[in-house]
A and B are shown apart, each in its own frame.
Chain A
């Protein structure tokens, strides 16, 4: 009989090797599929690599793509550290974009005043949107997975309403987007690059998060609360207040990602500002083990995978196969990760099966 059981901890090198082997396996499986469907796998992978990092332009586009992924990833990582399952980064991003756009479209301020105001409104929009599920969670323990998830739809529909209705660009014949932002509302590019200044948000927030979590008393509270809320209560930590604060901050960072997209990339607010950044953020944060700089790194890899997929499409591979390859790589990374802590045991004879955890709990 075959069963899955927990294994003794393995060395760092072995774990890294296992994860790499997972990716290699995915690429091999993808290659088999590509040749079976009449494509040249070598060429396809080369196209992907070129599309992701093959030229200064491609690398910079990957960096631009990584900005919203990293910001939402950092936001949810903070919530996950506190044991709060914020699945609502997508909606928080949208609400941040909404408030920032409100300033961009309504205020005719100079850039030095307008951009900080938009950044602040982005933070506020995302933060308040996360406060909404945080209050019932703090007071009555309402499951935030459900509430944050459902509020995503509300936020996205609200943005849809605006861009189809009151904010629709009159000259766009009912295409779902607003008027373009004035130049003063556009984030500048980093000197000599195609990357907008939102990249600085990523660096600042990753650095701040790393410091707060590791080196401050409040970060210590968050880590204790995340690992064991009962221990936090026992130690007299303000658990409820921290639930509110962490959710608001987590949403605020996602809201800033929304501001970065409308101000730095799109230049207007429109339907579908995010192709699911807020959901990818969850996977990114977990793959990075919630480490702030790790999240930034994984976000860049993710962005490379996405842009590589685009490049693949332009060289004639159907979009579905490109998405499939992306999913395959992601899946095998996750599987590799699982087998760092588990193994398959094969036993002869039929045995009374015990779930892996139960067996491990009994020393």
Chain B
């Protein structure tokens, strides 16, 4: 079905998300919607799927002008969307999830539907056990369930929001093969992405969005990565060039660390690794394989079951959070707001979060406002951050928040830093700044443990790469051994 969105405008109370965007996609094509965070991609697609009403503009479907009364209305008209956060019910089986929201007889035709599901799944490479419970499935499998559900509802237009953000490289390959097959069957496939490589690889046409406007639509065979990047960012971004110093003495040593999980008995099992001064060790893995628990245990935020952690030879596994901070261990947490930064407080107040007890910021428990302001000016100046010092930081963009967080964590040249997904959700420019800051700390001798789900980031920055699967480190690779397919296999639990 032809999709045509005409001059769509959408404003939210504090921002205009879309300034009159037009977009069209055709049956039989895979169309990528490329742009940075906040470009308006998701808002535009939510309008197509009936989740938002446009303030102005119209939706045309198969040549007919449509106006959605509700998301259900859009679904009935053949629009299906897979959101970034899956809308499945984890305790139910795949089969039960597929039938949710399907109108028809009250009872379930288990056998008849099962056969239909199986044949659709085979046709499009959407293998998944219909009797498995959703919580047992990997993210890739859950995504297949979402897609199957849309196909069962007879969606003619499929929209996927950042579909590869939770997938291993292999799973992404399989997904794009599926999308190709769905397009070939006459459906219209649109996927949202901010990754240049996958857009070039998987799409027939690419529409680039920036700042709430559609900038250009290109055929992917005519597009080059550098041009797309420039269209997306509005200027040329030079990626930082790592030039690692020769690694020094061991700084952060983790020895057979075992950490209990929230839902599993053990989230981290016997992890052993060493990070040397001036070295960046990456930890690759699909989300949920123990990375978060490892980082929290290192920072002292999560009790450990057994094992040892040493910083400069000093045992830390029983130390308090404050002792670890004072020993020179910095943590860049996954949640910038609410963990790393306090949204309701000012930048100045946030910059003293870890040092408010030290002179000159406070003496005998009394804060010195002048010293606090001076500290803020110095930190903001050093990282050239144009942040209003007296406004609550929750008003800042994700990129500014992360720069602010790095300004604090890296300001005093920590001995070691544990960074969790430091560029998640950031635009290209902000991500490059974060990378530069990490590399700069490295050049000053900081030992960095970088946990990320973005393999490109790890391959760019890491001197060595540990792959984590099911709580264990399955391999540690040197830079010369970096090899995408092999890493992907390890991330999926395969042997090296």
Name A's B-contacting residues (CB within 8 A). Answer: 5-8, 215-221, 223-224, 227-228, 230-231, 233-237, 347, 349-352, 354, 359-360, 362-363
Contact = CB atoms under 8 A, between A and B. Distances in A.
Q: Chain B CB within 10 Å — which of A230, A233, A234 has the most?
A: A234
B51 A352 contact: yes
A217 B321 contact: no
A228 B339 CA distance: 7
B331 A234 contact: yes
Q: Looking at chain B's contact residues, is the secondary structure mostly helix, strand, loop, or mixed?
A: loop
A215 B365 CA distance: 9
Contact of A236 (B43, B71, B321, B369): B321
Contact of B12 (A234, A235, A363): A363
B232 to A, nearest CB: 18
Nearest to A215: B367
B354 A236 contact: yes
Which 8 pairs show the lowest CB-CB distances between chains A and B?
A236-B322, A236-B321, A351-B53, A217-B362, A227-B344, A227-B342, A235-B353, A230-B339
B14 interface: yes
Given A228-B344, A363-B17, 12 more contacts: A215-B366, A215-B369, A216-B367, A217-B367, A220-B352, A223-B345, A227-B342, A227-B343, A234-B301, A234-B333, A352-B70, A362-B46
B483 interface: no
Contact of A220 (B15, B299, B324, B349): B349
B38 interface: yes
B325 A236 contact: yes
A254 to B, nearest CB: 25
Contacts of A8: 13-14
Contacts of B369: 215
Nearest to B38: A363
A352 B69 contact: yes
Contacts of B353: 224, 231, 235
Nearest to A219: B367
Nearest to A360: B13
Given A216-B367, A235-B354, A236-B322, A228 B69 contact: no
A348 to B, nearest CB: 11
B182 interface: no
Contact of A234 (B43, B52, B323, B340): B340
A136 to B, nearest CB: 20
B293 to A, nearest CB: 15
Given A220-B349, A350-B69, A235 B321 contact: yes
A185 B324 CA distance: 52
Contact of B17 (A216, A217, A219, A362): A362
Contacts of A359: 12-13, 52
B422 to A, nearest CB: 15
A217 B366 contact: yes
Contacts of A228: 338-339, 342-344
Given A217-B357, A224-B353, A360 B14 contact: yes
Given A218-B365, A231-B353, A224 B342 contact: yes
A317 B322 CA distance: 62
B335 interface: yes
Interface in B3-53: 12-15, 17, 38, 42-43, 46, 50-53
B341 interface: yes
Contact of A352 (B68, B299, B322): B68
A220 B356 contact: yes
Nearest to A9: B14
28 contacts: A6-B13, A8-B13, A215-B366, A216-B362, A217-B356, A217-B357, A217-B365, A220-B349, A220-B367, A223-B345, A224-B353, A227-B343, A227-B344, A227-B345, A228-B343, A231-B338, A233-B301, A236-B300, A236-B325, A349-B53, A352-B51, A352-B70, A354-B52, A359-B12, A360-B12, A362-B12, A362-B42, A363-B12
B71 A352 contact: yes
B213 to A, nearest CB: 15
Contacts of B221: none
Nearest to B394: A227
B320 interface: yes
A242 to B, nearest CB: 13
A347 B71 CA distance: 18
Interface in B62-97: 67-71
A363 B14 contact: yes
A82 to B, nearest CB: 13
Contacts of A363: 12, 14-15, 17, 38
Q: What's the interface size class on B, roughly? A: 35 or more
Interface of B: 12-15, 17, 38, 42-43, 46, 50-53, 67-71, 299-301, 320-325, 331, 333, 335, 338-345, 349, 352-354, 356-357, 362, 365-367, 369
A237 to B, nearest CB: 8
Nearest to A231: B342
Contacts of A7: 13
A352 B52 contact: yes
A219 B13 CA distance: 34
A6 B11 CA distance: 13
B53 A352 contact: yes
A224 to B, nearest CB: 6
A220 B349 CA distance: 8
B338 A230 contact: yes
Contacts of B349: 220, 223
A192 B243 CA distance: 79
Contacts of A349: 53, 67
Nearest to B337: A228
Contacts of B300: 236
Contacts of A221: 356
Nearest to B331: A234
A37 to B, nearest CB: 42
Contacts of B53: 347, 349, 351-352
A359 B13 CA distance: 9
A347 B67 CA distance: 15
Nearest to B10: A362
A237 B354 CA distance: 9
A241 to B, nearest CB: 12
Nearest to A6: B13
A227 B52 CA distance: 31
B343 A234 contact: no
B294 to A, nearest CB: 16
A163 to B, nearest CB: 42
Contacts of B342: 224, 227-228, 231
Contacts of B320: 236
A238 to B, nearest CB: 8
B13 A5 contact: yes
A40 B76 CA distance: 62
A37 B353 CA distance: 59
B236 to A, nearest CB: 26
A234 B321 contact: yes
Nearest to B42: A362
A219 B71 CA distance: 47
A362 B356 CA distance: 34
Given A6-B13, A223-B345, A363-B38, A234 B299 contact: yes
B201 to A, nearest CB: 29
A216 B366 CA distance: 4
A360 B395 CA distance: 12
Contacts of A227: 342-345
Nearest to B14: A8
Contacts of B340: 231, 234
Contact of B341 (A219, A231, A236, A352): A231
A144 to B, nearest CB: 21
B337 to A, nearest CB: 8
Contacts of A223: 345, 349
Given A7-B13, A236-B321, A231 B339 contact: yes
